[in-house]
């Protein structure tokens, strides 16, 4: 299933569509990715002023579950046919990897459409050993493109207290050549940026502290809302949003963060706690109700 989000004004004839393509749950056992994706979707369909501004200027296309058969069967990483789909983007089979084949064809079609600018591809995953949310990006010979690729995760780090830019890395490991991030990063031009968004299965550490905060379903969805909100900063649409404090929609009541006594350690043990000076700009922002 593909979910498009935009206002009809975006589709007037001759207008260039700026597209953000988001996929999730290609690895069926990585359930947190579904909650992050749910947070993005719930926010984008809301009437929050930021959501409306985003729908007016961007087209979001979201495939929230790329491995539905694997999820149904309770598999951890593979599909019904036993394939790790995130290693088959180079040449997906319409028979063995139908979801990948369909999404890839759609992305190529948009890439070849002169009226469409595919500017972001984000594939949402969950990580079993790392803490916090973080991203993987690509390495480019073009230094300007490489530096511009770092802008979005830096902005997200300011908006989401559980996102770690210092844990974000850019690589082109051979073993990752078949992933969506690597394949599309090589296919699309210099105006497109491709990321893998990872989120911890268990906890995050807020900069300047040593206490691990266990993730909850609401916390994962909050990260998704902050991912969506970051596009407002990236495209400098902030002046279009009324400067009023409007609570973000929540799906359930959030409990106060629980500090696990066994997950304490020196501040230097986590990337975000380096020097205890992680940006706190967002802590004073009225929109921190995300």
| Alpha helix positions (H), 179-216 | 180-187
Residue 213 is predicted with a pLDDT of 95
Burial class (CB in 10 A: 0-12, 13-18, 19+), 142: exposed
Measured between alpha carbons, how far is residue 128 from residues 30, 202, 211, 286 in Å?
9, 8, 19, 33
Which among 133, 209, 200, 195 has a CA at the least distance from the CA of 164?
133
3-state SS, residue 154: helix
Residue 210 is predicted with a pLDDT of 82
pTM of the complete model: 0.81
Mean of per-residue pLDDT scores for the chain: 83
Place of tokens 């629980």: 258
Lowest-pLDDT range of 94-108, 117-131, 142-156, 269-283: 269-283
Residue 158 is predicted with a pLDDT of 95
3-state SS, residue 244: coil
Q: Which position among 119, 143, 198, 218 bears the catalytic label?
A: 198
- Of all residues in the chain, what percent carry a pLDDT higher than 90? 62
Residue 206 is predicted with a pLDDT of 87
Measured between alpha carbons, how far is residue 235 from residues 50, 124, 228 in Å?
12, 21, 12
* 159 against 7, higher pLDDT: 159
User: CA-to-CA distance for 56 and 7, rounded, in angstroms?
Assistant: 6
* 106 against 259, higher pLDDT: 106
User: 139-197 pLDDT, tens per residue?
Assistant: 888 888 888 999 999 999 999 999 999 999 998 777 787 898 988 988 888 889 999 99
Measured between alpha carbons, how far is residue 87 from residues 91, 170, 188, 219, 289 in Å?
9, 18, 18, 29, 37
Give yes or no for residue 266 having a pLDDT over 50: no
- Of all residues in the chain, what percent carry a pLDDT higher than 70? 79
User: 50-87 pLDDT, tens per residue?
Assistant: 999 999 999 999 999 999 999 999 999 999 999 999 99
User: 196-212 pLDDT, tens per residue?
Assistant: 999 999 999 987 788 89
- Domains of the chain, each with CATH number or no CATH: 3-237 (3.40.630.10)
DSSP-assigned beta bridge partners for residue 121: 21, 194
Q: Is 198 a catalytic residue?
A: yes
């Amino acid at each position: 299933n593909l979910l498009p989000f935009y206002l009809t004004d975006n589709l007037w004839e001759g207008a260039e569509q700026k597209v953000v393509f988001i996929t999730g749950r290609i690895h069926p056992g990585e359930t947190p990715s579904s909650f992050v994706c749910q947070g993005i979707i719930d926010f984008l369909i809301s009437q929050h002023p930021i959501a409306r501004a985003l729908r007016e200027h961007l087209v979001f296309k979201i495939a929230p579950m790329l491995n539905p058969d694997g999820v149904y069967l309770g598999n951890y990483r593979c599909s019904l046919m036993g394939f790790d789909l995130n290693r088959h983007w180079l040449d997906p089979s319409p028979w063995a990897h139908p979801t990948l084949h369909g999404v890839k064809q759609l992305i190529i079609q948009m890439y070849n459409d002169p009226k469409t600018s595919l500017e972001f591809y984000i594939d949402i995953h969950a990580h079993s050993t790392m803490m916090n949310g973080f991203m993987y990006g690509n390495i480019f010979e073009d230094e300007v493109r490489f530096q511009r690729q770092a802008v979005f995760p830096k902005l997200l780090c300011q908006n989401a207290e559980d996102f770690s830019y210092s844990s974000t890395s850019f690589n082109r490991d051979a073993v990752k050549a078949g992933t969506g991030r690597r394949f599309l990063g090589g296919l699309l031009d210099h105006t497109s940026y491709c990321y893998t968004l990872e989120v911890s299965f268990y906890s995050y550490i807020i900069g300047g502290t040593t206490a691990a905060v266990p993730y909850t379903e609401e916390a994962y969805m909050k990260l998704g809302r902050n991912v969506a909100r970051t596009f407002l900063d990236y495209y400098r649409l902030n002046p279009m949003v009324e400067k009023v404090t409007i609570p973000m929609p929540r799906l359930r009541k959030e409990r106060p963060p629980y500090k696990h006594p066994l997950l304490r350690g020196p501040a230097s043990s986590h990337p975000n706690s380096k020097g205890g000076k992680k940006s706190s700009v967002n802590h004073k922002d009225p929109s921190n109700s995300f």
